[in-house]
Amino acid sequence: ETEKLALPVGTTLDRFIKKKQDDFPFASGELSQLLRDIALAGKIINREINRSGLLGIEGAFGAQNVQGEEQQKLDVIADIRFMRALRNGGEVCAVVSEEQNEIIDLDNPNGRYIIAMDPLDGSSNIDVNVSIGTIFSIYRRLSPVGGPVQMEDVLQPGVAQVAAGYLLYGSSTMLVYTTGRGVNGFTYEAGLGEFFLSHQNIQTPLDGKIFSINEGAYNVFEPAVKKYIEDCKELRFSGRYIGSLVADFHRNLFKGGIYIYPRTDTAPEGKLRLLYEANALAFIVEQAGGKASNGKTRILELEPKELHQRTPLFIGSKKMVEKAEGCF
Ligand code: AHG
Ligand code: MN
Ligand code: MN
Ligand code: MN
């Protein structure tokens, strides 16, 4: 009976991390603890999102972030929750976030890790009960431990990521992450307060039939992007666009597809941020057998020059991304 119903074996995130301790560069288990801290922050944010309509934390916060976007209350809350969990954890010396102008020093002088994060992804969906997420990248600090954190510590290319992942607050809440040895997904069991391994060694289809792009800006896309979209339509692919990068990415990861955020007239380098959004998902998609590009160059090899740098993004099934690149 158990086999027929495919009941989960019940591996908790904690147990999984312990078992995979060998994956981690430091036997000290610091990275393991860091992943647990992130999971904890995720649980807290998940709870706040679930009850946001009751807690009175919907709507605009009343300030703009450095991206020039209207911050939502939950953007700010998620940012605070993560900072707090990472500060208390002690493994992280500094954080850079979509919602913060500058590097945040966490006063953990012995912390060996740097985090880049998008605390809440999918602003337009926060208040309307549509899936949103959290995206994070983990880097090893380059400057000596004990001294001040340097710009070079945070401006590392995506290939230097030690681990990356996302939380998806969707019809179920999931944590998906990689440490560079495959991608694993965990589903949150709110009653037990635990993430359980539910999607082991995720591989994305080599090709797909879903394209995800905000076509409202079609008229100002580059000719190569227009051509690729026309090809997708010619082939009668499905257009799917939630407007939360994490959610669109997650669907395409499992079903096969491509997500595109191209250059537009108002966003000459695209909208998405290299450090907080593109790099983490690029690491994950490559680990799952997919591909991520800015149209010409592999995302993970782009050299960041500034914290809030943006990049066009073509990400998903390998064949689809290659075909899109071929249009340039
Ligand atoms: P964020 O909410 O972190 O600012 O990110 C929003 C991003 C991304 O989640 C989404 O795919 C994209 O913005 C949607 O932008 P458009 O509304 O321009 O399509
Ligand atoms: Mn985002
Ligand atoms: Mn965000
Ligand atoms: Mn934003």
The pLDDT tens digits for 282-308 are 999 999 999 999 999 999 999 999 999
pLDDT score of 19: 84
- Asked if residues 72 and 126 have their Cβ atoms less than 8 Å apart, the reply is yes
Residue 172 annotated as binding? no
How far apart are the C-alpha atoms of 312 and 325, rounded to whole Å? 12
- Asked if residues 275 and 266 have their Cβ atoms less than 8 Å apart, the reply is no
Q: What is the pTM of this model?
A: 0.96
- CB of 271 closer than 6 angstroms to any ligand 1 atom: yes
Which protein residue's CA is at the shortest distance from atom 1 of ligand 1? Answer: 121
Q: Which two tokens stand for residue 44?
A: 């807290």
Ligand nearest the Cα of residue 124 is: 1
How far apart are the C-alpha atoms of 118 and 64, rounded to whole Å? 15
For residue 255, the tally of other CB atoms under 10 A from its CB is: 16
User: Residues 240-256: pLDDT tens digits?
Assistant: 999 999 999 999 999 99
Taking each helix axis as running N to C, give the angle between helix 223-234 and helix 318-326, from 0 to 180 degrees, rounded to the nearest 10. Answer: 130
For residue 108, the tally of other CB atoms under 10 A from its CB is: 18
Grade residue 3 by pLDDT with cuts at 50, 70 and 90: low
* Bridge partner list, 259: 212, 315
Residue 277 annotated as binding? yes
Taking each helix axis as running N to C, give the angle between helix 279-287 and helix 245-255, from 0 to 180 degrees, rounded to the nearest 10. Answer: 10
| Residue ranges with CB less than 5 Å from ion ligand 3 | 98, 118, 120-121
- Give residue 272 CA to ligand 1 midpoint distance, Å: 7
- CB of 244 closer than 6 angstroms to any ligand 1 atom: yes
- Give residue 76 CA to ligand 4 midpoint distance, Å: 10
- CB of 124 closer than 6 angstroms to any ligand 1 atom: yes
Residue 75 annotated as binding? no
Please compute the mean of the pLDDT values over residues 257-269 and round it to a whole number: 97
How far apart are the C-alpha atoms of 72 and 77, rounded to whole Å? 9
Q: Which of 94-98, 105-109, 202-206 has the lowest mean pLDDT?
A: 105-109
pLDDT score of 9: 60
**DSSP, residue by residue, 48-95:** HHHTHHHHT--SEEEEE-TTS-EEEHHHHHHHHHHHHHHHHH-SEEEE
How far apart are the C-alpha atoms of 277 and 148, rounded to whole Å? 26
- Asked if residues 74 and 48 have their Cβ atoms less than 8 Å apart, the reply is yes
Closest CA to 213 of 228, 197, 198, 193: 228
Please compute the mean of the pLDDT values over residues 231-241 and round it to a whole number: 98
Q: Which of 16-25, 102-111, 230-239 has the lowest mean pLDDT?
A: 16-25
Closest CA to 121 of 79, 177, 92, 58: 79
Grade residue 7 by pLDDT with cuts at 50, 70 and 90: low
Using most ligand atoms within 8 A of CB, pick from 258, 259, 261 the residue to mutate for ligand 1: 261
Per the listing, tokens 């880097």 go with: 139
Burial class (CB in 10 A: 0-12, 13-18, 19+), 77: buried
